[in-house]
C-alpha cells in the first residue's frame, strides 16, 4: 500500500507542479506582453515629447531672431532724425508744401531776422526727422509683431 500511496502522492505533486509552472508561465507571459505594450506607449509618448520640444525650440529661435532684428532696426532708427534733417538741409529731401511753409507763414519777412528764420528752419528740419523716426519705429514695431504672429501660425518658421 505504501507504493500506491507514494505513486498517488507523486502524481498529485507532479500534477500540482505542472499546474503551478503553467500558471506562472501564463502569468509571466501576460506580464511580458503588458510590459512590451507599456514600453511601446512610453516610446510613443517620448517621441511626441521630443517633437514638441523641438518645435518649441524652433519657435523660440524664430522669436529670438525676430527680437534681434527688431532691436537692430531700433538701433538703426536712432540715426534717422539726424539723417533726415541733414538731407533736408542739403536739399536731398523736400518737405510737402504744408510743412515747408508752416512756420514761416506766421512770421513776416520784415519782422523776422535772418537768424530766427534759420533757427526755425533748423527746428523744422529736426522736427521732420523726429516725425520720420516715429513713423519708422511704428513700422518696425508692426513688422516685428506681424513676424511673431506668422512664426506662431507657422509653428516656428518665420
Q: Rounded to 10 degrees, what is the CA torsion of 107, 81, 141, 68?
A: -170
158 pLDDT higher than 50: no
| Residue span of the structural domain in which 33 resides | 2-154
The band of 136, judged by pLDDT with boundaries at 50, 70 and 90, is confident
pLDDT in tens, 98-114: 555 544 555 455 555 55
Backbone φ, ψ for residue 27 (5° rounding): -65, -45
CB-CB contact of 156 with 55 (8 Å): yes
Other CB atoms closer than 10 Å to residue 112's CB: what's the count?
Answer: 14
Rg (CA), the chain: 42
pTM: 0.50
Q: Using one digit for the tens of pLDDT, what is the confidence trace for 5-59?
A: 888 888 888 888 888 888 888 878 888 888 999 999 999 999 999 999 998 898 8
Confidence band for 130, pLDDT divided at 50, 70 and 90? confident
Structural domain count, the chain: 1
Amino acid at each position: 500500500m505504501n507504493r500506491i500511496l507514494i505513486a498517488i502522492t507523486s502524481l498529485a505533486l507532479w500534477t500540482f507542479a505542472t499546474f503551478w509552472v503553467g500558471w506562472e508561465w501564463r502569468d509571466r507571459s501576460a506580464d511580458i506582453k503588458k510590459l512590451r505594450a507599456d514600453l511601446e506607449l512610453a516610446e510613443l509618448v517620448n517621441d511626441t515629447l521630443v517633437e514638441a520640444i523641438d518645435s518649441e525650440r524652433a519657435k523660440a529661435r524664430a522669436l529670438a531672431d525676430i527680437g534681434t532684428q527688431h532691436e537692430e532696426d531700433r538701433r538703426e532708427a536712432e540715426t534717422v532724425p539726424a539723417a533726415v534733417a541733414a538731407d533736408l538741409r542739403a536739399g536731398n529731401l523736400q518737405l510737402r508744401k504744408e510743412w515747408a511753409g508752416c512756420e514761416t507763414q506766421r512770421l513776416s519777412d520784415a519782422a523776422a531776422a535772418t537768424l530766427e528764420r534759420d533757427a526755425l528752419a533748423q527746428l523744422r528740419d529736426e522736427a521732420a526727422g523726429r516725425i520720420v523716426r516715429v513713423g519708422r519705429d511704428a513700422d518696425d514695431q508692426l513688422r516685428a509683431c506681424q513676424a511673431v504672429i506668422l512664426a506662431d501660425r507657422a509653428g516656428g518658421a518665420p
